[in-house]
């Protein structure tokens, strides 16, 4: 008996029916264990190899996809880091520019403070009222609708403040120049009295001469006082005469700005020499009774371009 594989029975649970050679039909195939093994074993090996290859391929594909995703993520992160670094550098540059601008404004403000203090001194103002070392007093109600300033707003405000400070500095400098010139003219032009103590014993103008009794022009103003009283220059200038001059006794003449000269006569002693520079208020002589005089006094004259003028308005000047 030889086992015969009937193909008509494959779909019926693969039942193997043993038939005799006599029953062998036209549509039957001879099947033996040996031939089956020759087909099944290679098939299983091929199927296993296919599974292994498919698993390897799928795994490699997944690994490749993950590597590509990781690479893309790293690229995105690198770009983000670069953008962040550029933004930080730009922000740092803006902050440095603002800090430099603030430092410039602070230096400008310090110059204005120093200028203001000088003007207070030159103008003889009340330093307690014009105190440049304190913050100006300010106040007001809280604004509930207020908003915070942006960086652009701060830059605009700094530029505006810088322009205002430059304008104020220019005007204060011009004012300082004007006050300095005024102070210079005050120092250089005759003003004030030649003695701190004493009284006017004879004014400028026509008078009865105390010695001759005749009426004649008195060219100056006489200040009576004690012998030895200090006599002061009424303006800054250069001594052009210093010595004895007949009726004037010991006489000093000082040349000032704008064509003015002053004369101090009847001195007990002259304290300056020709060519000496004197400042306003300097002691130039001691009050005396020399020359044509009836008592201790200083004869004070003011001349403009060599012509005698009334000293009264210069004496009254501060």
Spatial separation of the C-alpha atoms in residues 287 and 297, rounded to whole Å = 6
Spatial separation of the C-alpha atoms in residues 314 and 318, rounded to whole Å = 8
What is the predicted pLDDT for the residue at 11?
47
Contact criterion met (CB below 8 Å) for 294 and 204: no
- Reduced to 3 states (helix: H, G, I; strand: E, B; else coil), residue 206 is strand
What is the predicted pLDDT for the residue at 307?
93
- Residues 148-170 as b/e (b if ≥16 CB within 10 A, e otherwise) read eeeeeeeeeebeeeeeebeeeee
The CATH code for residues 199-316 is: 2.70.70.10
What is the predicted pLDDT for the residue at 238?
94
Contact criterion met (CB below 8 Å) for 285 and 271: yes
Cross-strand bridge partners of residue 288:
297
Model pTM above 0.95: no
Spatial separation of the C-alpha atoms in residues 88 and 166, rounded to whole Å = 33
Contact criterion met (CB below 8 Å) for 127 and 185: no
Cross-strand bridge partners of residue 265:
299
What is the predicted pLDDT for the residue at 217?
85
Determine the straight-line distance between the first and last CA of the chain, rounded to whole angstroms: 159
Averages of pLDDT over runs of 10 residues in the chain (318 residues) are 48 48 51 60 71 70 67 80 81 75 75 73 64 61 63 76 76 71 76 91 84 82 94 95 92 93 96 94 96 93 93 82
Contact criterion met (CB below 8 Å) for 288 and 249: yes
Residues 6+ apart with CB under 8 A from 244: 250, 251, 290, 291
Q: What is the pLDDT of residues 225-263, one digit of tens each?
A: 999 999 999 999 999 999 998 899 999 999 998 899 999
What is the predicted pLDDT for the residue at 175?
67
DSSP letter at 194? S
């Amino acid at each position: 008996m030889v086992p015969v594989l009937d193909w008509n029975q494959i779909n019926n649970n693969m039942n193997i029916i043993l038939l005799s050679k006599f029953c062998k039909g036209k549509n039957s195939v001879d099947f033996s264990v040996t031939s089956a093994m020759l087909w099944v074993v290679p098939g299983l090996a091929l199927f296993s190899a296919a599974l292994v290859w498919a698993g390897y391929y799928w795994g490699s594909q997944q690994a490749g996809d993950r590597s590509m995703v990781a690479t893309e993520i790293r690229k995105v992160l690198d770009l983000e880091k670069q953008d962040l670094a550029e933004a930080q550098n730009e922000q740092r540059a803006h902050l440095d520019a603002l800090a430099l601008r603030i430092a410039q404004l602070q230096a400008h403000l310090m110059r204005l403070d120093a200028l203001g203090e000088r003007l207070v001194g030159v103008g003889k103002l009340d330093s307690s009222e014009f105190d440049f070392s304190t913050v100006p007093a300010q106040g007001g109600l809280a604004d509930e609708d207020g908003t915070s300033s942006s960086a652009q707003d701060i830059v605009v405000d700094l530029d505006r403040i810088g322009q205002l400070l430059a304008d104020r500095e220019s005007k204060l400098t011009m004012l300082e120049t004007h006050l300095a010139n005024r102070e210079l003219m005050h120092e250089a032009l005759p003003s004030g009295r030649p003695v701190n103590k004493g009284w006017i014993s004879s004014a400028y103008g026509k008078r009865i001469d105390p010695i001759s009794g005749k009426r004649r022009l008195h060219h100056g103003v006489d200040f009576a006082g004690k012998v030895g009283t200090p006599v002061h220059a009424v303006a800054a200038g250069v001594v052009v005469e210093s010595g004895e001059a007949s009726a004037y006794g010991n006489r000093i003449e000082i040349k000032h700005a704008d064509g003015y000269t002053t004369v101090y006569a009847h001195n007990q002693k002259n304290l300056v020499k020709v060519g000496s520079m004197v400042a306003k208020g300097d002691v130039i002589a001691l009050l005396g009774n020399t020359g044509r005089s009836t008592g201790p006094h200083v004869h004070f004259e003011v001349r403009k371009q060599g012509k005698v003028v009334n000293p009264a308005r210069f004496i009254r000047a501060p």
